[in-house]
């Protein structure tokens, strides 16, 4: 089980948009729409921000959006805010009752 591939870092200025990629295979991201994104601030627990590729849980701002094409998914944060600075993880169902996470992307808001 290899982790999904994410860039280790990303950055943007307040007000800008940033996109974080998450690449898997045809056995996980490419096969299932069970794709989620989590935000984790330092010393805090992960928070679900996107599920089912592009659905937002209640309370998550619509600045956060998700998409998927083939074996790759993306998280886009528009109108960056200072509080968006955090680690972001994607996850996907991988079949056979298994879940896999991406390696994580540290977002810096400059």
- Residue 8 gets which letter from DSSP? S
Give the number of other Cβ atoms within 10 Å of residue 65's Cβ: 18
- Nearest to another protein of 29, 80 (CB atom): 29
Residue 12 or 102 with smaller CB distance to another protein:
102
Tell me, letter by letter, the H, E, C secondary structure of 53-90.
CCECCCCCCCCEEEEEECCEEEEEECCCCHHHCEEEEE
Decide: is 100 part of the binding site for another protein (CB under 8 A).
yes
Residue of 26, 82, 83, 96 interacting with another protein (CB under 8 A): 96
Interacting residues of 57 by C-beta distance below 8 A, sequence separation 6+: 48, 49, 51
Query: Footprint of another protein on residues 33-92 (CB under 8 A)?
Result: 33-36, 38, 40, 45-46, 48, 51-53, 55, 57, 87, 89, 91-92
Give the C-alpha separation, 42 to 11, whole Å.
17
Minimum distance between the CB of residue 110 and another protein, rounded to whole angstroms?
23
**Structure-block tokens of residue 23:** 């690449």
> Is residue 101 within the footprint of another protein (CB under 8 A)?
yes
Task: List residues binding another protein (CB under 8 A).
Answer: 1, 3, 32-36, 38, 40, 45-46, 48, 51-53, 55, 57, 87, 89, 91-93, 96-104
């Amino acid at each position: 089980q290899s982790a999904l591939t994410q860039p280790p870092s990303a950055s943007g200025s307040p007000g800008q948009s940033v996109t974080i990629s998450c690449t898997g295979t045809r056995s996980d991201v490419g096969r299932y729409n069970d794709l989620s994104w989590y935000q984790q601030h330092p010393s805090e627990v992960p928070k679900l921000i996107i599920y089912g590729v592009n659905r937002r849980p209640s309370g998550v701002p619509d600045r956060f959006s998700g998409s998927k094409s083939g074996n790759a998914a993306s998280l886009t944060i528009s109108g960056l805010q200072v509080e968006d600075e955090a680690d972001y993880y994607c996850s996907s169902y991988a079949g056979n009752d298994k879940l896999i996470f991406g390696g994580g992307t540290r977002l810096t808001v400059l």
